[in-house]
Amino acid sequence: MNGPWFVELLARNGDVLQRQCVAGLPIRIGRGYDNDVILDDDYAAAAHAVVDLDAAGRLLLRDLGSRNGIVVAGRRLHEAALSGDTVVRIGHTPLRVRAADFPVAPELLDRTFHGWEGVLPGSVGLVLAGAVALLARWLGDTDYFAWARYAEALAGGLAAALLWGGVWAFANRLFGRHARLGRHLFVSGCGAAAIAGYALLGSTLGYAFSAEGFTHYASHVATLLLAGMIYFHLCTIRPQNRVRYRWICAGLAVLCSSLILAGNVQRTGRWLDELYMPVLMPPAVRLSPDHGVDEFMREVEAMKGPLDRSRGRKPGDDEIEN
């Protein structure tokens, strides 16, 4: 096992922060300037540990009597055998040691869509979020037009998009190499537009064709769209885990839909959502034929018999009493 050797200082998420090449063994590690690998860590000793071969020819990391020792997999040890994947914590610094001939994984297929990063997609996402906020204000506004209300709605929509995208960008920086705020803002804006678009389209179709299903299942569609938005956020952070993220987001969608169904049963005794239209639409939008008053009264009369029987009364008792 000849050199050179590479000591990799790691971040908490496993990314390599710094890689130092050492020509041969032994490798002295510590905070002092006479070490082969110098750690800028107040919890590391001046001469903390040494890497060398043992009598059997194995690579071994040995503590040099430091106060905090060396930690492997949560256990404090005096010495530890090293493979290329063994992560050792010295002080607050995780590291590993690899030989020059250590095999690396094959290159990944680039699915990051570099053209959709930066200022342009971020601006598009903010424009979509602002447009959704203004549309929601316009559809729900029943008072006289006032610029202040629309400015407030626009500011709220942009702030929500920046907060949501900023949280994901922070996670991207924490678990990846870059923040990629523009991509996360773009995903946020597209997700908000999709959810608002379905709410408006579903209400329109439900009103136009008397299709109650568009309203009865609106919350489940919104849950599915939200899970899709989270999926694209996760794929932006780590594109190589797409299959795992599909299962995670599908499970979240099923869990949320189950909770919605349970809440509906507890609240109303029915599985479906309550009929609700967030927008008042003109009669010209309705395409389903209207039902006359006579037809309505016949339906009511047909309901009278089953209702009387359910109350333990016979049809016609009201006429006898009168």
- The answer to whether the pTM exceeds 0.75 is no
Predicted local distance difference test score (pLDDT) of residue 174: 83
Q: 159: pLDDT confidence band, cut at 50, 70 and 90?
A: very high
46, pLDDT greater than 90 = yes
Work out the average pLDDT over 293-298. Answer: 77
Question: What is the average pLDDT across 189-208?
Answer: 88
> Would you state the pLDDT for residue 104?
87
**For 50-64, 114-128, 187-201, which range has the lowest pLDDT when averaged over its residues?**
114-128
Q: Per this entry, what is the length of the chain?
A: 322
Residue 277: predicted pLDDT: 66
Among 96-105, 208-217, 309-318, name the one with the lowest average pLDDT.
309-318
- Say yes or no to pLDDT of 316 above 60: no
| pLDDT above 70 for 115 | no
Mean of pLDDT values over 263-268: 88
Listed residue (75, 74, 73, 93) closest to 85, CA to CA = 73
pLDDT mean over 176-183: 86
**From 1-10, 68-77, 221-230, the region with the lowest mean pLDDT:** 1-10
| Distance in angstroms (rounded) separating the CA atoms of residues 9 and 89 | 10
Q: What is the mean pLDDT of residues 61-79?
A: 92
Per-residue pLDDT for 117 more than 90?
A: no
Please say if the pLDDT value at position 299 is more than 90.
no
Q: What is the mean pLDDT of residues 126-147?
A: 87
Inform me whether the pLDDT recorded for 179 exceeds 60: yes
Query: Looking at the predicted structure, is the pLDDT value of residue 1 above 70?
Result: no
Please tell me the predicted confidence (pLDDT) of residue 145. Answer: 80
Question: What backbone torsions phi and psi does residue 249 show, to the nearest 5 degrees?
Answer: -70, -35
Say yes or no to pLDDT of 140 above 90.
no
Share of residues in the chain with pLDDT > 90 (%): 50
Q: For the chain, what is the mean pLDDT?
A: 86
pLDDT at res. 154: 93
